[in-house]
Amino acid sequence: MKRIGVFTSGGDSPGMNACIRAVVRAAVYHGIEVYGIHRGYKGMVKGEIYKMDSHSVSNIIQKGGTILRSARSREFMTPEGRKLAYEQLQEHGIEGLIAIGGDGTFTGANIFFEEYGIPTVGAPGTIDNDLYGTDYTIGYDTAVNTALDAIDKIRDTADSHDRVFFIEVMGRDSGYIAIPCAIGGGAEIVMIPETETSIDYVVDTLRTGWNRSKTSFIVIVAEGDDAGNATEVAAKVQQELPHMDARVTILGHVQRGGSPTAADRMLASQMGVACVEGLLQGRKCEMAGIINKELVYTPFIDTITKDKLINPQYVRLVDILSV
Ligand code: F6P
pLDDT digits (tens, 9 = 90+) for 12-58: 999 999 999 999 999 999 999 999 999 999 999 999 999 999 999 99
Q: What pLDDT is attached to residue 169? A: 98
Is 245 labeled as catalytic in the residue annotation? no
**Which residue's alpha carbon is nearest to atom 4 within ligand 1?**
11
Does residue 222 surpass a pLDDT of 90? Answer: yes
Report the separation in Å between the CA atom of 104 and the middle of ligand 1, taken as the mean of its atom positions: 12
DSSP 147-185: HHHHHHHHHHHHHHHTEEEEEEE--SS--TTHHHHHHHT
Average pLDDT over every residue of 246-260: 98
**Which residue's alpha carbon is nearest to atom 8 within ligand 1?**
172
Length of the chain: 323
206: pLDDT confidence band, cut at 50, 70 and 90?
very high
Ligand 1: residue of 256, 303, 308 to mutate (most ligand atoms within 8 A of CB) is 256
Q: What pLDDT is attached to residue 185? A: 97
Report the separation in Å between the CA atom of 141 and the middle of ligand 1, taken as the mean of its atom positions: 16
**Right CATH for 3-139+260-305 from 3.40.50.10420, 3.40.50.450, 3.40.50.720, 3.30.1360.20:** 3.40.50.450
**Mean model confidence pLDDT for the chain:** 97
Q: What pLDDT is attached to residue 311? A: 87
Using left for φ > 0, alpha for ψ between -120 and 50, and beta otherwise, residue 69 falls in: left
Q: How far apart are CA 115 and CA 94, in angstroms?
A: 16
pLDDT digits (tens, 9 = 90+) for 126-161: 999 999 999 999 999 999 999 999 999 999 999 999
Report the separation in Å between the CA atom of 108 and the middle of ligand 1, taken as the mean of its atom positions: 18
Q: How far apart are CA 62 and CA 17, in angstroms?
A: 8
323: pLDDT confidence band, cut at 50, 70 and 90?
confident
Alpha-carbon Rg for the chain, nearest whole angstrom, is: 22
- Ligand 1 atom closest to Cα of 102? 1
Does residue 309 surpass a pLDDT of 90? Answer: no
Domain extents in the chain: 3-139+260-305, 143-256
Residue 208 belongs to what H/E stretch? helix 199-211
72: pLDDT confidence band, cut at 50, 70 and 90?
confident
DSSP 258-296: SPPPHHHHHHHHHHHHHHHHHHHTT--SEEEEEETTEEE
**Right CATH for 143-256 from 3.40.50.460, 3.60.15.10, 3.30.565.10, 3.40.50.10490:** 3.40.50.460
Q: What pLDDT is attached to residue 152? A: 98
Evaluate whether 3-139+260-305 and 143-256 have a shared fold.
yes
176: pLDDT confidence band, cut at 50, 70 and 90?
very high
265: pLDDT confidence band, cut at 50, 70 and 90?
very high
Does 104 show up as a binding residue in the annotation? yes
Report the separation in Å between the CA atom of 315 and the middle of ligand 1, taken as the mean of its atom positions: 23
Does 253 show up as a binding residue in the annotation? yes
pLDDT digits (tens, 9 = 90+) for 269-289: 999 999 999 999 999 999 999
Q: What's this model's pTM, rounded to 2 decimal places?
A: 0.97
b or e along 220-253 (b: 16 or more beta carbons within 10 Å of the residue's beta carbon)?
bbbbbbebbbbebbbeebbeeeeebebebbbbee
What residues does ligand 1 touch, defined as CB less than 6 Å away? Answer: 11, 102, 126-128, 170-172, 223, 256
